[in-house]
Amino acid sequence: MLKAYELWVDHEFTKHSKNIASKSIPLTEPGFSVHGRFSGDPGHFELCLQVASVDMDDDFQTIANGVMSTTDPTSHTFHFDADGKIIVRALFARLLMRHVSEDVSLTARLIK
């Protein structure tokens, strides 16, 4: 059965927000996805899915193809699957908002 883990719930970002990390979630088995919804059009943004073997800021790295920079233009949602095509052997996952050009809030979940 799939479980959803909250990374951010209505987290407020301003157009001056840079390099803000979500809490990290332990990964106990391979395969997971990330789903998020912005409160409105985020404009230009760069959101990175990062993983690490140790839960320390300096150890997190963005996974291959793990940079999200587009949303559905109507619902302002995004989705990323780390399934069988992407082998992740890390122990922790998080999101890192590199930048966003509009003031928005974000709710994001990691599903495994």
The structural domains of the chain, ordered by start, are 4-111 (2.60.120.1110)
Task: Write out pLDDT tens, residues 3-23.
Answer: 888 898 899 999 989 999 999
**pLDDT digits 0-9 by tens, 83-102:** 655 566 788 999 999 999 99
Q: In angstroms, rounded to a whole number, what is the distance separating the alpha carbons of residues 40 and 24?
A: 25
The model's pTM: 0.90
Q: What is the DSSP string of 2-45?
A: --EEEEEEEEEE-TT-EEEE---EE--SS-EEEEEEESS---SE
Tokens describing residue 14:
């301003």
